[in-house]
Amino acid sequence: MPHPRLAFHTWPAAIYAIGDVHGCFEQLLALEAVIARDGAAIEGEKWLVTVGDHIDRGPRSREVIEHVMAPAPAGFRRFALLGNHEAMLLDFFANPAAHAYYLDEGGTTTLASYGLAIGRPLRSQAGTLAALAAFPDAHRQFIAALPISLSLPGWLFVHAGIRPGVPLAMQSDEDLVWIRAPFLTSQLTGGLRVVHGHTPGRSIVATPHRIDVDTHCYHTGTLSAVRVTPDGATEFFSVSGAPASR
């Protein structure tokens, strides 16, 4: 099933884009509290966008998914985007044997957060599928329906980036959730400033063409966000907690 590509022509009062959460539920709650306080001073509807990779590696993926399925804070509208880790989970649901590598990419931690003890070596395909049947159907459907991008005039919010020189309508789903090079060093973004995650660093990276809000939360303990307003102004926010990996 193709993932929706959301396109809007009218801006809200502000958009807050949060980087890769990777199961770091405490930092997500703390950062949203900071955002809610900041947004209280801005009149009009605000949007809260998580740019994918809500799951894996950190210990509380189930709680993160439950949270982003729930209503946003008052005055906000929530959008959760697909990341490559959600895409890998969906592939694993469809064919565990063919996509068992997902377990090595943090998948065992996500499944454990749902009470599912699935690891290597995999049991039989039938046995693994039977175990996966305990994964909540509402969560599975939510993840399967995640949009892959959100665009507004001059801006794109997406997990990984875009293929330089390719029109937005022609971008592949694979590039939108997986690309690094050549996107990270290119200025050919079709006139868009791209807000993304996927490529982790110790701090937000901002250039005239892109803003990377992935600050490697499960490893550094720091989760970050950018606020974008219709005039193109940006403001950065971060919270810190205990890293999930030591």
CATH of the domain at 77: 3.60.21.10
Q: What is the pLDDT of residue 218?
A: 96
Show Cβ contacts of residue 246 under 8 Å, excluding neighbours closer than 6 positions: none
Q: Which amino acid is residue 26, in one-letter code? A: E
> Could you tell me if 42 and 11 are in contact, meaning their C-beta atoms sit under 8 angstroms apart?
no
Range of the domain at 168: 12-83+145-240
125 part of a folded domain? no
* Nearest-angstrom CA–CA distance, 41 and 194: 26
> Could you tell me if 159 and 121 are in contact, meaning their C-beta atoms sit under 8 angstroms apart?
no
* Nearest-angstrom CA–CA distance, 20 and 196: 9
User: What is the number of domains present in the chain?
Assistant: 1
Residues of the chain with pLDDT under 50: none
Q: What is the pLDDT of residue 244?
A: 82
173 part of a folded domain? yes
> Could you tell me if 169 and 188 are in contact, meaning their C-beta atoms sit under 8 angstroms apart?
no
113 part of a folded domain? no
208 part of a folded domain? yes
224 part of a folded domain? yes
198 part of a folded domain? yes
130 part of a folded domain? no
Q: What is the pLDDT of residue 1?
A: 66
Q: What is the pLDDT of residue 122?
A: 87
* Nearest-angstrom CA–CA distance, 239 and 113: 23
96 part of a folded domain? no
pTM flag (> 0.85)? yes
Q: Which amino acid is residue 117, in one-letter code? A: A
Instruction: Look at residues 97, 142, 140, 141 and name the one whose alpha carbon lies nearest to residue 120.
Output: 97
